[in-house]
Amino acid sequence: MILSDGYFEVPAGKIASVVTSLAMTAPPLRRPDPPSTPWRLDRVEQPDPDGYRALFRSVGTEWLWFSRLKLSDAALLAILRDTGVEIYRVLSAEDEGGLLELDFRERGQCELSYFGLVPGLIGGGAGRWLMNRALDIVWARAISRFWVHSCSLDHPAALSFYIRSGFRPFRRQIEIADDPRLTGLIAPGAAAQIPVL
């Protein structure tokens, strides 16, 4: 459905976001890593639902990441343990500091399913470092397209970060969903920058 110009009512109890999809079709010119890189990338070979959800929450609660929180253990494991999906965590002094999830299930391409850092690592160069690791992993494979989608609920700098990293926008959509703070998936006080209606 294509919307016409104008304002459209978002029902109470729902959230709305503008989703921008971006892609690259060749390795980009890499931005240099920050001078100090106290982080380590650790592949999670056999993710368990509780551990994954804890990391997902620590990274995504402020941006209302909820899609994986709705899934049953069986449905979540079907994704996480698929041989075409790779889960990585950023470790900083042995604490989990971020999530990188790559989805190679569609032949010839990779989706950057989830990419994020815990609040304490945002703005210190860890995002650029993590993107460089993602680019190394992805473009070592026989793919012709690496893509991601970001939404207006994400960190305000997320979209420009993806563009600076070499992704180019190709589609814009509107997503409407139940507010996860009202369904109990996320604590009611989370994401104070987005009002609950």
Quick: pLDDT tens for 136-171.
999 999 999 999 999 999 999 999 999 999 999 999
For the chain, what is the mean pLDDT? 95
139: left (phi over 0), alpha (psi -120 to 50) or beta: alpha
| pLDDT for residue 67 is more than 90 | yes
The pLDDT of residue 164: 97
Calculate mean pLDDT across residues 164-185.
Answer: 97
Quick: pLDDT tens for 2-56.
889 999 999 999 999 999 999 999 999 989 998 888 999 999 999 999 999 999 9
8 Å CB contact between 183 and 61: no
List C-alpha distances in Å: 48 to 7, 44, 52, 80, 106: 42, 9, 6, 8, 23
Domains of the chain plus CATH, in order, are 37-182 (3.40.630.30)
Q: Which two tokens stand for residue 150?
A: 């970001």
- Helix residue ranges per DSSP H, 6-125: 49-60, 73-80
Calculate mean pLDDT across residues 73-99.
Answer: 94
The pLDDT of residue 37: 87
8 Å CB contact between 167 and 22: yes
pTM, to two decimals: 0.95
